[in-house]
C-alpha cells in the first residue's frame, strides 16, 4: 500500500526537515507538535558541510548563508596554554573538500529557515502524542487533549524522549552521561575590547571542554557550550538556568580567552547531556522513527541535528518513490531507510560518545563529506 497520508510527530529540526523535503516532492503532511508555538531559545548550532548539503537540497542554503558565520577554521586548543592541537581549515577549503561550507548560526535561525520551507497550515500545535495503535491499513494517534487523528504512515520525530519510540519499543531511560552542557548566547559587545577569535574554537581540558563561536556573519553575538562533569544534574530542559558563578569556577585555570567569555556572559542555561545506544530497528509496521528519537548522541561532534536532517532527506526520497506508482510496501521503505542510515548514525553515536573527534589530527571527511541526497 503506497503512503497517501503522512503524519509527523514533532516539529523540531528533523520533523520540519522531513516536511520540507516531502513538500519538495509534492507530498503533504500533518505535523503534530506538543508545544504551543516556537520561541527563540538562546543557542548556537553548527551546520557542518553534510548538513549544509541537506539545506541545499531543501532550497535553503542561500538563506542561511546570508546570515550565518562561515569560520575560516576549526581550532582545537589545549585548555590552559591555548596551544593548537589540531586546526582544521574550513572556508574555501571546506567547500572544495566536502562540497559545501561549514556554517555557524543561531539555532532559531536554522529553525526559521526550515519553517519557511513548510506549509504553516500543516502544523498542529499543542498536540502531544500519548498513544497510538495500528492495523494493516492505518495508524490511529491519540493526543493528550483527547483528540484523535489517523494517517497511513507516521514518523516519530519527537526527540530524545520520544513517546513514539516508547510506544513502539517500550520505555527505556536514556543513558545519563553524568555531564552537563552549559550554554548561552550573548552580545559580543559585552566583551568590551576583546573579541572571540573569528573561528569555532574548542578548548580541550582533561575532563571538560568548552566550544566558543560567533553565531552570525556580523560576529556580534557569541555562543558557547560546555561539557562539565555534574552527575547530580539530570534535567534536560530548554528553560533550566544554570549558575554563572558555578560555571566560571568550573573553568578556573582555563585559557584567559575562556575566562573573558565566561566573565562577560550574563546568564546561562544548563542541560543534562543524554544519549542512547544504537537501536537494531527504527520501525514497526506503519510507524518509523527519525533523528534523536532513534539515534540521540552526545553533542561533541555537532552531528545530532545534522543527522536528523540527513535522515529526513533520505526518508522523504524513499517515501516519494513508494508513492509514485503504488510501488513497494511501507515496510520495504522503512527497511531501505534503516539500511541507508543505521550504520552511519551508529558510528556517529559511538564516535561522539568517545569525544576524541578532532582532539588531534583527524580525517573528518567521513562525517563532513557525506551526501544524503545520494544515499540509500
Ligand atoms: C548542548 C547541545 C548542543 C548541540 N549542538 C549541535 C550542533 O551544533 N549541531 C548539530 O547538528 N546538533 C547539535 N545538537 C543536537 C541537536 O540539537 C539534536 O540532535 C536535534 O535537535 C535533534 O532533532 P530532532 O528533530 O530529532 O529532535 P528535536 O529537535 O528535539 O525535536 C523534537 C520535537 O518533538 C516535539 N515532541 C516531543 N515529544 C512530543 C510528543 N509526545 N508529541 C508531539 N510532539 C512532541 C518537541 O517539542 C520538539 O519540537 C546539540 C544538542 C545539545 C544538547
Ligand 1 in reach of 13 Cβ (< 6 A): yes
Distance 159 CA to ligand 1 centre (A): 5
Ligand 1 in reach of 155 Cβ (< 6 A): no
Where the chain has pLDDT below 70, the residues are: 1-3, 236-238, 324-328
Would you call 213 a catalytic residue per the annotation?
Answer: yes
Q: What pLDDT is attached to residue 1?
A: 40
**Distance between CA atoms of residues 21 and 100, nearest Å:** 19
Atom of ligand 1 nearest to the CA of 274: 53
Nearest CA to ligand 1 atom 49: 12
pTM (global) more than 0.85: yes
Distance 43 CA to ligand 1 centre (A): 12
Domain 6-67+105-173+277-374: give its CATH code. Answer: 3.50.50.60
Atom of ligand 1 nearest to the CA of 297: 19
- Tell me the CATH number of domain 175-275, given options 3.40.228.10, 3.30.9.30, 3.40.50.10860, 2.70.70.10: 3.30.9.30
| Boundaries of every domain in the chain | 6-67+105-173+277-374, 175-275
Q: What pLDDT is attached to residue 328?
A: 56
Distance 304 CA to ligand 1 centre (A): 8
How far from 167 is each of 49, 133, 134, 288, 375, CA to CA, in Å?
34, 9, 11, 11, 29
**Do the beta carbons of residue 100 and residue 60 sit within 8 Å?**
no
**Distance between CA atoms of residues 271 and 194, nearest Å:** 28
6-67+105-173+277-374 and 175-275 have identical folds: no
Ligand 1 in reach of 224 Cβ (< 6 A): no
Strands 103-106 and 123-124: unpaired
Ligand 1 in reach of 10 Cβ (< 6 A): yes
214-242 pLDDT per residue, tens: 999 999 999 999 999 998 877 766 678 89
Distance 14 CA to ligand 1 centre (A): 8
**Distance between CA atoms of residues 114 and 155, nearest Å:** 17
Residue of 213, 223, 300, 370 marked active site: 213
Q: What pLDDT is attached to residue 370?
A: 97
Atom of ligand 1 nearest to the CA of 303: 11
Kindly list the strands in the beta sheet with 175-187, ordered across the sheet, starting from the edge strand earlier in the chain.
Answer: 84-89, 73-78, 200-204, 209-214, 221-229, 175-187, 268-275, 236-242
137 burial level (CB within 10 Å; 0-12, 13-18, 19+): exposed
Distance 206 CA to ligand 1 centre (A): 28
Ligand 1 in reach of 174 Cβ (< 6 A): no
**Distance between CA atoms of residues 54 and 319, nearest Å:** 17
Amino acid at each position: 500500500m503506497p503512503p497517501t497520508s503522512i503524519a509527523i510527530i514533532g516539529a523540531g529540526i528533523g520533523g520540519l526537515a522531513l516536511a520540507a523535503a516531502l513538500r519538495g516532492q509534492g507530498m503533504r503532511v500533518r505535523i503534530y507538535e506538543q508545544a504551543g508555538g516556537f520561541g527563540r531559545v538562546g543557542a548556537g548550532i553548527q551546520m557542518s558541510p553534510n548538513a549544509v548539503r541537506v539545506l541545499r537540497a531543501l532550497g535553503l542554503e542561500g538563506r542561511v548563508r546570508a546570515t550565518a558565520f562561515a569560520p575560516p577554521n576549526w581550532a582545537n586548543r589545549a585548555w590552559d596554554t591555548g596551544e593548537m592541537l589540531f586546526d582544521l581549515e574550513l572556508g574555501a577549503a571546506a567547500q572544495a573538500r566536502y562540497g559545501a561550507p561549514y556554517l555557524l548560526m543561531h539555532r532559531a535561525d536554522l529553525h526559521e529557515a526550515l519553517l519557511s520551507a513548510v506549509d504553516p497550515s500543516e502544523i498542529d500545535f499543542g498536540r502531544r502524542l500519548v498513544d497510538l495503535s495500528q492495523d494493516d491499513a492505518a495508524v490511529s494517534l491519540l493526543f493528550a487533549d483527547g483528540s484523535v487523528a489517523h494517517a497511513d504512515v507516521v514518523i516519530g520525530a519527537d526527540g530524545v524522549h520520544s513517546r513514539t519510540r516508547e510506544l513502539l519499543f517500550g520505555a527505556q531511560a536514556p543513558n545519563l552521561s553524568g555531564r552537563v552542557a552549559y550554554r548561552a548566547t550573548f552580545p559580543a559587545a559585552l566583551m568590551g575590547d576583546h573579541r572571540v577569535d573569528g573561528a569555532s574554537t574548542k578548548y580541550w581540558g582533561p575532563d571538560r571542554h568548552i566550544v566558543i563561536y560567533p553565531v552570525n556573519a556580523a560576529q556580534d553575538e557569541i555562543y558557547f557550550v560546555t561539557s562539565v562533569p555534574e552527575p547530580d544534574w539530570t534535567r534536560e530542559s530548554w528553560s533550566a538556568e544554570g549558575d554563572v558563578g558555578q560555571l566560571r569556577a568550573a573553568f578556573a585555570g582555563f585559557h584567559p580567552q575562556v575566562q573573558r567569555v565566561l566573565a562577560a556572559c550574563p546568564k546561562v542555561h544548563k542541560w543534562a547531556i543524554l544519549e542512547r545506544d544504537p537501536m537494531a530497528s527504527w520501525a514497526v509496521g506503519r510507524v518509523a522513527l527519525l533523528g534523536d528519537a532513534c539515534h540521540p548522541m552526545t553533542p561533541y561532534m555537532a552531528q545530532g541535528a545534522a543527522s536528523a536532517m540527513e535522515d529526513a532527506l533520505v526518508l522523504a526520497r524513499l517515501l516519494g518513490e513508494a508513492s509514485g506508482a503504488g510501488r513497494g510496501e511501507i515496510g520495504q521503505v522503512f527497511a531501505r531507510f534503516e539500511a541507508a542510515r543505521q550504520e552511519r548514525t551508529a558510528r556517529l553515536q559511538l564516535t561522539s560518545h568517545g569525544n576524541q573527534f578532532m582532539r588531534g589530527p583527524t580525517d573528518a571527511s567521513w562525517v563532513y563529506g557525506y551526501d544524503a541526497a545520494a544515499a540509500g
